Structure 1
Amino acid sequence: MHARGILAATAAVWLVAPQAATTAGGGLNPMIALHEQGAPVFGITHAAIAAGRQRPSPPGAAPVEAPPPLPLPSLMSAAEETAAYRRADFTYTNYSSAQADRFMGFVGALLRAGASVRTHPILAKVPILHTDQALAVSRIHEQLNLGHAGVMLQEVESPEEVRTALAAMRFRAQGGTRPEDGVGLAAAYWGVSEEEYRRRAQPWPLVKDGELVLWAIVESREGIARVREIAAVPGLTVIVVGAGTLRGVYSTTAADGSRVLDRPAFDAGVAAIASACREFKVACSHPANTAAEVEALTKQGFSVFTMQTRNDAAFAAIAAGRAKAGR
């Protein structure tokens, strides 16, 4: 079904959502309550909503004919699968403007499947801010208008980037740069009126009663060099170790063409990020995909984990992490 068709089909749900949600009281974004309690936070990538390609043959294998694209998943099927799983504290997406219509349809389908920001907060990366500030700020506005519960900044290298993002998350009437219009879908997913949405859609903990979170991914030498300045910005919720990118940053190419990781330098970079998190009392995140990884990272002081796969190992990791935390 085309995204616009699903949006039209969910109009009735949107109209009753504000009354249904506001009677429950309390905060809307469950991640914030967990941060306030010092409890671990677990997220997982959402069910696929776009067509993909099958995994290619491994390096060195005999060449084969390119596999055909995987079929386009049904938005409703993907939404029902996502909504049915309620053990994660947030849903991570690979959003892009090119699939905006389809993603709007997915949010509408999530509503029809019984999901909301209370049960399935949505997070996604935005373009690198210091590469193209106008594009990044525009994407922040776009993604928040689609109901996202926060913003993930890529490759953060300065405190100014964090401040710019915080301003982009706040409406103009609140001193920010976000336009007041276009919030209908976000308000529907949050289950509040547009007026109430504008009041609550502010960054926490900068605004005590805010419901939006801001993550800064540090994944460069420049970012690590200034990580204490980044962590010190009021309003930053989470600092993420961009482990995959950092492994490339701290690797060199050997004579045989293989990549060699400078493990001491990589470990020192990760330690610097973790130290800044502790010093400025900002939650620290690291990607994880197995229960063993979650356990090891927890011992190192990490408390926010994104499962970058959606498989049995990831589901087991969340279950084990929640059990360990008594959740």
Structure 2
Amino acid sequence: MAKSAASSVVRCLQLLTVAAVLAGAAAGGGLSTSFYSKKCPDVQSIVRAGVASAVAAEKRMGASILRMFFHDCFVNGCDASILLDDTATFTGEKNAGPNANSVRGYEVIDAIKARVEASCNATVSCADILALAARDAVNLLGGPSWTVYLGRRDARTASQSDANANLPGPGSSLATLVTMFGNKGLSARDMTALSGAHTVGQARCATFRNRIYNDGNINATFASLRQQTCPLAGGDAALAPIDVQTPEAFDNAYYKNLMARQGLFHSDQELFNGGSQDALVKKYSGNAAMFTADFAKAMVRMGAISPLTATQGEVRLDCRKVN
């Protein structure tokens, strides 16, 4: 029985990779699967080795890298603008409200970039490294893989105000989520699948305190559990796993949590609260292969949000600053 189940999982992953390629063909945004095949043929193995080392040291880092990619793409496209440090004359996105206390792992991307530069100087963009790293982070935590379309270039600027305006928050309503994802060309189904990224990672008390003390649509035992480490006042930086069941494994437990009214964020529980996404949450909770296939396809589409290509932007030598 176990061998049969394992074989089924392998077949599903093979099929979803094909599906992701087909989806990406329509959503590639001028990107290519063979962009570095001659210029930097080892880039994918270099990135994966760097991510594997970081995840082996701290599994939470896999979720952090995935979150960084999401927060990059939702602010003026997948252009590595989130990686730019502030300077005396420039205010970037790192200290925007949604990023300051929740996005981490910049040093992992720095280390990978250094290895890539040593192999093929001034060739691979930070934006492409981040896109590859997000895919590998998911896969190394037990999730699916997909074909990453490449050829992005790096932004020479960033926008703290756009980061504050364009990233959905933990208190967002379903209507707000649908609108904000729709503004990026992503469907409600994409939004529900991408939200499944919350099956891994941890969150600060400040982001879910209102949920566990004031929301009505929450399991009382779950609320009490989270209140033990997140007091009504103080302790903002205390961490809790977003997925109460398997916080370090990329699986479909997130959707099972929602059905049990155990979503950590108000925005999570909005996906299963008598609204338009209830039926899809039910399907994902009972069909892991459907979730991972949809997640992979949605990641391809998200990775194609407004990329800089051709002569736009630049290939940064240091991800933290423009050339």
Shorter-chain-normalised TM-score: which range?
under 0.3
- Report which of the two structures shows the higher radius of gyration computed on alpha carbons: 1
Query: With structure 2 as the length reference, what TM-score do the two structures score?
Result: 0.26
- Structure with the bigger RCO (C-alpha within 8 Å, sep 6+) is 2
Report which of the two has the higher share of strand.
Answer: 1
The structure that is helix-richer by fraction is 2
